[in-house]
Amino acid sequence: MTLHTQLFINNEYVDARSGETISVYNPEDESLVADNVQVAGEEDVNAAVSAARAAFKGEWSKWTPYQRTKVMLDFADIVEKNIEELASLESKSMGQPISVAKMVIPYLIAAFRYYAGWTDKLPGEQFPPTGDDGLYKITQYEPIGVCAGIGAWNGSLIFFGSKIAPAVATGCTFIYKGSEKSPLALLQLGALVKEAGFPPGVINIVSGDGKTGSLLASHMNINKVSFTGSVFAGKKVMELAAKSNLKRVTLELGGKSPSLIFDDADIENALVHHSQNFLFNTGQACIAASRTFVQESIAEKFIEQLKARFEQFKHAAGPPANPQTFLGPLVDGKQFERVMNYLEIGKNEAELIVGGGRHGDKGFYIEPTIFLNPKDDARIYREEIFGPVLTIRTFKTEEEAVELANDTDYGLSACVFTSSTSRALRIAKQLESGMVNINTSQAFAAELPFGGFKQSGLGREGGRTGLLAYVEAKTILINMKV
């Protein structure tokens, strides 16, 4: 696979008119992975939008649902054949262990295959005249138009699938910008888009930093923007969208997810989900259950065993390219310094149980860390750290557990570990969270809505709900008396 560092616009790789470039470094050892990665400026964004608008009004609008289904399935098949190369690039640019990268890419494939089945399954409604009004009423759904997606670095290819697949299924066209921290695998997808047979302009891929994202969010000829990232940046995207053309917005933002472990839970299962699953992708996941609440009667035993697991996983750190590596480095020096700062803050806010520092003397590796009984206003307890850092508090009653879980500005995901189905469902109803995992964690699928309550976001991606975010409902009324 040829390494592409140019922008992908109108089915061609082109140099950025901005003249700006960025370099990508491997967080394992800070070695150069690629330089001359093109940065899209205003002219480049305008060119991508023009190509997307021309495709939306032109050839793409004439394609039948069955044609859209075929090209989406073909694209999924081609991506599947290139998993090794794509995973390698993702691993090198953001430090994701190669084994993890290979597990992540199938979510992109699943999104395109799932939404390929929706191209002809979003019917409208019709209502015959009632009484004397003589009006025949029709509701139909139409593609919203030119859409933009801005994705985060921790799951670049997942976000590509969750944003673009529903959009093209409905007949929209797209400009996608990933993070400047992990642009390489995304840029390679352009060649696969063309190989699959998408018409020019339907899917465009640009790279750049927040300035490029701002150009997309504020563009007057983009109808919708979907953003995944921090709460701070999400609010900025929403502001720019509102101040420009009031474009539709979907926001998938941060999380500080709670997990409630009751004394009747399967302890081995809970230990797996709070060690192995929590540390997946080195804790760099918006749905990671970083606030763990354990019932007092089992707390001492659970914490002792979880500490031992964290100590074991420290030895699973290694080179991302090694298939045996489970724990990779953080994405870059900036994120490393951010997490290290939280570790120092946490030592004054809670009891350090395990970890709390850098792992090794090379690369951006952090020790798996547990803090016990953080203060109620502790930053490590309140703020999203985005690393292998877990806080634990105890509770006595179910009511107390729910109150602790909901005491946050976030509401993306939550977990409940118990052998009582009635308790699980009772608590699930009370949790202020877009997703509730019962006796599991970090579970999601293309057919399910994904998104959060409160400051964790706006709208949903995934499932039929995610599809509706890319259409406008149009009402038509016919006077049957004429």
- Catalytic amino acids? 252
- What is the torsion angle, in degrees rounded to the nearest 10, for the CA atoms of residue 16, residue 21, residue 26 and residue 27? -120
The alpha helices in 226-332, defined as continuous H runs, are 231-243, 267-274, 296-314
Please work out, in degrees rounded to the nearest 5, the angle formed at the alpha carbon of residue 224 by the alpha carbons of 220 and 228.
120
Six token digits for residue 271: 């230990």
> Is 420:261 a contact under the CB 8 Å cutoff?
no
C-alpha closest to that of 215 among 39, 334, 57, 52: 39
The DSSP annotation for 449-476 comes to -B--SGGGEES-BSHHHHHHTTEEEEEE
Using DSSP bridges, classify how beta strands 146-150 and 135-143 pair: parallel, antiparallel or unpaired.
unpaired
Task: Residue 86: count other Cβ atoms within 10 Å of its Cβ.
Answer: 25
Helix (H, G, I), strand (E, B) or coil at 393: strand
- What is the torsion angle, in degrees rounded to the nearest 10, for the CA atoms of residue 130, residue 133, residue 134 and residue 138? -70
> Is 329:27 a contact under the CB 8 Å cutoff?
yes
Six token digits for residue 181: 């921290």
Distance (Å, whole) CA 449 – CA 144: 19
Distance (Å, whole) CA 326 – CA 320: 8
Question: Edge-to-edge strand order for the sheet containing 146-150?
Answer: 12-14, 7-9, 203-206, 173-177, 146-150, 224-228, 248-252, 457-458
Distance (Å, whole) CA 455 – CA 442: 19
Query: Which regions of 377-442 does DSSP assign to beta strands (E)?
Result: 389-395, 413-417, 435-438
Distance (Å, whole) CA 247 – CA 218: 9
> Residue for token digits 């209502």?
127
C-alpha closest to that of 406 among 433, 428, 425: 433
> Which residues are CB-contacts of 348 (< 8 A; sequence separation ≥ 6)?
none
Query: Which regions of 355-431 does DSSP assign to beta strands (E)?
Result: 369-372, 389-395, 413-417
Distance (Å, whole) CA 199 – CA 182: 26
> Is 58:72 a contact under the CB 8 Å cutoff?
no
